[in-house]
């Protein structure tokens, strides 16, 4: 019997003095020392009565100890449930109770507020702060530094990740050992990571990007990470010279580009910049390449699948696309009603199949049957097309599709047009109910720094370049677009704000 994730990600590093985490205070934690912490954490969880298959929910700040807790869960066969640090008590109440968590770990400062949530769910409450202190680390400190890995099968659950729930009740995606391991192997292969790599890690670890993509890849490759609690511009600029690679969300790259110190000399030694979790503007691609000589590699993934596609390491990294399917992963573009595959170049709903695709939704068999087909294809809900060279372009979410007067309107097409207009930094297009057309287009624009947007000029350009039914009937200007912690534009918030702009005003 084996434990696939432990055997591949952690076992090779037990007892090794090779560097793993370069920390903000200048110290370095070796692979071996990190795994000793993980072993003590595993013993602590066992002392709390947690056994293989149980869920441990964590709502804590990023720290080496938080990462060690993840490693401990893998080694002990426990299902790891990371929760966004921005979640409110009401949201956490649902996640902890729905997951039937055995233990709920929170920050010491929120223990009083979380105690009723843990009690109602029948979970034991433990604490762990961003400084590494808390009741859990106190318990772990007295435990042995060796722990025998618990046997797991490839199809056993390793993690439970809840979707954002912007269109209804959040769903818990069940990710298996094989889901996570197959994805890490594919990414190490595609992105050419080795033990010589040092990854600048400024992402949160409550999310798939920072945890299962960045961390698992570096564990499998045997490299090190510059482990920062968050993206801080001054710190990132100071630490980039010690890195070979960086994974980030688009806002990381736009903030770097806003600083003149970020230039070709600073990153001349870098091997790879990767972006994901939200679309990267074509203009950001162009500015980044012009400034640094590097072309950002963009990829695409989901909570339910981890990574699905990637632009090539060697070859044409095409702005606006998310590249080709990863090794072992299949994609197809289908009619949303019939699930039949559409011809190359047509827009439809993207389906994904492969060893990375999750097992189903926790305690939601009907929702699982709706979105995970019997032959293994997962209906992502993302509108996309695949070109003749096999590059995938994500057009938008299915829920973002606008149907106006019987015509389908894809917001991404209009956003690309708007983003190219003088003075526009970025845009978001939504549909709002319209008394004549069912829905019509609302464009929300963010101006470039110091610029004033000329709406009359944009409307004139739209008349030349966009069909009448696609043209925005309403423009709104904001300083910034609402985004979640991973940089995705929250169009549900925009719809809530501007959803009545076409409605008759009460007399």
180-234: per-residue pLDDT in tens? 999 999 999 999 999 999 999 999 999 999 999 999 999 999 999 999 999 999 9
Please identify, among 102, 128, 152, the residue that sits at the C-terminal boundary of a domain: 152
Q: Cβ(248)–Cβ(231) under 8 Å?
A: yes
Please give the torsion angle defined by the CA atoms of residues 6, 7, 10 and 15, in that order, rounded to the nearest 10 degrees: 130
pLDDT of residue 397 exceeding 90 = no
Residues 217 and 340 in one domain: yes
Closest CA to 294 of 312, 315, 271: 271
- What does the pLDDT read at residue 399? 84
Q: Sorting pLDDT into bands at 50, 70 and 90, what band is 166?
A: very low
Residues 269 and 390 in one domain: yes
Q: Sorting pLDDT into bands at 50, 70 and 90, what band is 406?
A: confident
Residues 55 and 127 in one domain: yes
Residue 193 Cα to chain centre, angstroms: 20
pTM assigned to the model: 0.89
pLDDT of residue 33 exceeding 60 = yes
5-17: per-residue pLDDT in tens? 999 999 999 999 9
Q: How many percent of the chain have pLDDT more than 70?
A: 98
- What does the pLDDT read at residue 51? 98
Output b/e per residue, 59-77; b: 16+ Cβ within 10 A. Answer: bbbbbbbbbbbbbbbbbbb
Is the alpha carbon torsion for 123, 128, 134, 140 positive or negative?
Answer: positive
Q: What is the CATH number of the domain that holds 436?
A: 3.30.300.30
- Give CA–CA dist 254/273, Å, rounded: 13
Residue 106: half-sphere exposure toward Cβ, Cα within 13 Å? 23
359-377: per-residue pLDDT in tens? 999 999 999 999 999 999 9
Give Dmax (Cα) for the chain: 76
Residues 71 and 116 in one domain: yes
Residues 141 and 263 in one domain: no
Q: Which whole number is the average pLDDT over 314-321?
A: 95
Beta strand 157-162 with 124-127 is unpaired
Residue 432 lies in a domain: yes
Contacts 24+ apart (CB under 8 A), 125-128: 126/48, 128/58, 128/60, 128/63, 128/65, 128/66, 128/69
- Give CA–CA dist 259/132, Å, rounded: 32
Residues 275 and 376 in one domain: yes
Residue 503 lies in a domain: no
3-state secondary structure of 151: coil
Residues 253 and 381 in one domain: yes
42-93: per-residue pLDDT in tens? 999 999 999 999 999 999 999 999 999 999 999 999 999 999 898 889 889 9
Please give the torsion angle defined by the CA atoms of residues 330, 333, 338 and 339, in that order, rounded to the nearest 10 degrees: 10
Q: In what order do the strands lie in the sheet with 19-22?
A: 28-30, 19-22, 224-227, 198-201, 245-248, 272-275, 297-302, 306-310, 324-325
Closest CA to 320 of 330, 311, 332, 308: 311
**pLDDT, mean over the chain:** 95
Q: What is the CATH number of the domain that holds 335?
A: 3.40.50.12780
3-state secondary structure of 174: strand
Residues 33 and 116 in one domain: yes
Q: Which whole number is the average pLDDT over 400-413?
A: 86
User: By residue range, what is the domain housing residue 115?
Assistant: 4-13+27-152
465 vs 291, residue with greater confidence:
291
Residue 383 lies in a domain: yes
407-439: per-residue pLDDT in tens? 888 898 899 999 999 999 999 999 998 887 888
Q: How many percent of the chain have pLDDT more than 90?
A: 86
- What does the pLDDT read at residue 167? 46
Q: Which whole number is the average pLDDT over 319-326?
A: 96
Residue 225 lies in a domain: yes
Residue 367 lies in a domain: no
Residue 217 Cα to chain centre, angstroms: 15
Residue 387 lies in a domain: yes
- Give CA–CA dist 5/180, Å, rounded: 8
Output b/e per residue, 325-352; b: 16+ Cβ within 10 A. Answer: bbeebebbbbeeeeeeebeeeebbbbbb
Residue 124 Cα to chain centre, angstroms: 28
Residues 296 and 331 in one domain: yes
Residues 324 and 282 in one domain: yes
Residue 224 lies in a domain: yes
Q: Cβ(41)–Cβ(71) under 8 Å?
A: yes
pLDDT of residue 238 exceeding 90 = yes
pLDDT of residue 250 exceeding 60 = yes
Residues 213 and 316 in one domain: yes
- 101, 119, 305 from 123: Cα distances, Å: 6, 6, 28
Beta strand 198-201 with 224-227 is parallel
Q: What is the CATH number of the domain that holds 136?
A: 3.40.50.980
Residue 162 lies in a domain: no
Residues 39 and 9 in one domain: yes
State the total domains in the chain: 3
């Amino acid at each position: 019997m084996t434990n696939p994730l432990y055997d591949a990600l952690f076992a090779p590093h037990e007892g090794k003095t090779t560097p793993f985490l370069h920390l903000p205070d200048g110290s370095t934690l070796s692979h071996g020392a990190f795994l000793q912490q993980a072993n003590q954490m595993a013993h602590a969880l066992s002392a709390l009565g947690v056994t293989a298959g149980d869920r441990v929910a964590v709502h804590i700040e990023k720290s080496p100890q938080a990462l060690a807790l993840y490693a401990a869960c893998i080694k002990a066969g426990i299902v790891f449930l990371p929760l966004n640090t921005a979640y409110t008590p009401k949201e956490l109440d649902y996640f902890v109770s729905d997951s039937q968590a055995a233990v709920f770990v929170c920050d010491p400062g929120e223990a009083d507020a979380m105690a009723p949530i843990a009690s109602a769910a029948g979970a034991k409450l433990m604490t762990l702060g961003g400084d590494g202190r808390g009741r859990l680390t106190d318990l772990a400190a007295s435990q042995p530094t060796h722990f025998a890995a618990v046997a797991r099968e490839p199809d056993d659950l390793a993690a439970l990740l809840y979707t954002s729930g912007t269109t209804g009740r959040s769903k818990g995606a069940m990710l298996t050992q094989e889901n996570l391991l197959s994805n890490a192997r594919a990414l190490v292969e595609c992105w050419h990571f080795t033990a010589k790599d040092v990854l600048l890690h400024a992402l949160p670890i409550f999310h798939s990007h920072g945890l299962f993509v960045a961390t698992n890849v570096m564990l499998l490759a045997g490299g090190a990470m510059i482990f920062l609690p968050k993206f801080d511009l001054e710190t990132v600029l100071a630490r980039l010279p010690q890195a070979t690679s960086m994974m980030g969300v688009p806002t990381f790259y736009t903030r770097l580009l806003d600083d003149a110190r970020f230039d070709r000399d600073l990153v001349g030694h870098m091997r790879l910049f990767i972006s994901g979790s939200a679309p990267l503007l074509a203009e950001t691609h162009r500015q980044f390449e012009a400034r640094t000589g590097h072309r950002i590699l963009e990829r695409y993934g989901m909570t339910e699948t981890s990574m699905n596609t990637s632009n090539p390491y060697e070859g044409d990294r095409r702005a606006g696309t998310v590249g080709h399917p990863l090794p072992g992963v299949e994609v197809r573009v289908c009619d949303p009603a019939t699930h039949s595959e559409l011809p190359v170049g047509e827009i439809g709903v993207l389906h994904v199949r492969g060893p990375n695709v999750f097992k189903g939704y926790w305690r939601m068999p009907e929702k699982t049957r709706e979105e995970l087909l019997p032959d293994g294809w997962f209906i992502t809900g993302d509108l996309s097309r695949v070109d003749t060279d096999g590059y995938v372009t994500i057009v938008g979410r299915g829920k973002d599709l606008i149907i106006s007067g019987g015509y389908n309107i894809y917001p991404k097409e209009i956003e690309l047009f708007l983003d190219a207009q003088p003075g526009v930094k970025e845009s978001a297009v939504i549909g709002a109910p319209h008394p004549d057309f069912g829905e019509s287009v609302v464009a929300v624009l963010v101006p470039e720094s110091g610029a004033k947007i000329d709406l009359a000029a944009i409307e004139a350009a739209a008349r030349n370049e966009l069909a009448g039914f696609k043209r925005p009937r309403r423009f709104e200007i904001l300083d910034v677009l609402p985004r979640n912690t991973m940089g995705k534009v929250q169009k549900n918030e925009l719809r809530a704000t501007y959803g009545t702009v076409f409605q008759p005003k009460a007399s």
